[in-house]
Structure 1
């Protein structure tokens, strides 16, 4: 059995927007997301992102939306944003049927490498919905630490989904690079 083809990384462009929206939605929302383990379908209905949100990430100065491909097929994406002495990591999505095979770990490591090499970032920061225990544990296994610092979930703003619970918040996770 041969090893899977290597991942390639490139910066997203306007033409990628529809495929990126579909990827992010498939990883987090609806029944399709249940094929992977990153689903938020038990916590949130509605959308995870939209074309405007993806375009905003692509167009933000000091920000990149990395497209991750294998043999020309879109398999994942993630956002990196330079914020002074640190980088923010977000909009991370791996195609549900490919989750659990080590892709996420490889992509996260490349994102951390780029943040340090390209921007001199000393740490990576991200926010995770506080009730996502399995996801938080995943990041802790990769060296991230919980800060206990919470920011409110944007209840009432359907661009971020329709909450199915009233106890959601975002917790800041941090890793020294």
Structure 2
């Protein structure tokens, strides 16, 4: 797994800010391609968010993304620049809490601050659209580098775990027997 970008690779304040918009049905295939490129296969190793050492197979599919788009109080946010999809995430209201997931940044766009911008926009969306007071997510426990990245952005480990869905290849093919998710939480 590639290490997280160092402090020297921070956002360039002069870099153009991406535009954000909610995804629609016509975006489903592009979202799936982005998510797969960020997490699975050799192409994902160009970035630091790859799960290629933990999981094989797919990360998501068109049916799963379309289902997210059809849920009430759910949005898939896209970050684009010059007509190119660079990042996405799923945000959903779950009572007084927002849920953040399916966070993907193109491997070639990682390390320059785009991820921080997407996360901040998702938190803003959840606060403004639904009035939630906290954001939660689940992260594979073995992703220590990713969990540390979220901790630096105000998320706390809760010690609450969920099992990995072994045997359900819609979520990937595990390459080790000890995967599980940890819930992270941040007050907004």
Report deviation, 1:4: 2.4
Distance across 2 between alignment mates of 1:6 and 1:134: 25
Q: Are 2:111 and 1:100 equivalent residues in the alignment?
A: yes
Distance across 1 between alignment mates of 2:123 and 2:75: 13
Distance across 1 between alignment mates of 2:76 and 2:118: 12
Q: Which of 14, 18, 22 is 2:25 aligned to?
A: 14
Counterpart position of 2:180: 169
Distance across 2 between alignment mates of 1:74 and 1:5: 14
Distance across 1 between alignment mates of 2:41 and 2:33: 12
Distance across 2 between alignment mates of 1:120 and 1:95: 30
Which sections of structure 2, spanning at least 5 residues, go unmatched?
1-11
TM-score by length of 2: 0.92
Q: Which of 125, 131, 143 is 1:114 aligned to?
A: 125
- The number of equivalent residue pairs is 177
Report deviation, 1:106: 1.0
Which sections of structure 1, spanning at least 5 residues, go unmatched?
none
Counterpart position of 1:160: 171
Q: Are 2:55 and 1:44 equivalent residues in the alignment?
A: yes
Q: Secondary structure at the match of 2:49?
A: coil
Report deviation, 1:117: 1.2
Could you give the per-residue CA deviations for residues 54-87 of structure 1, whole angstroms, max 9, x where no partner exists?
1011111110001110121100000000111010
Counterpart position of 2:137: 126
Counterpart position of 1:58: 69
Report deviation, 1:110: 1.1
Distance across 2 between alignment mates of 1:71 and 1:121: 32
Q: Secondary structure at the match of 1:124?
A: strand
Could you give the per-residue CA deviations for residues 25-56 of structure 1, whole angstroms, max 9, x where no partner exists?
00000000000000000000000000001101
The answer to whether the Cα contact below 8 Å between 1:63 and 1:82 also exists between their aligned partners in 2 is: yes
The answer to whether the Cα contact below 8 Å between 1:21 and 1:50 also exists between their aligned partners in 2 is: yes
Report deviation, 1:13: 0.7
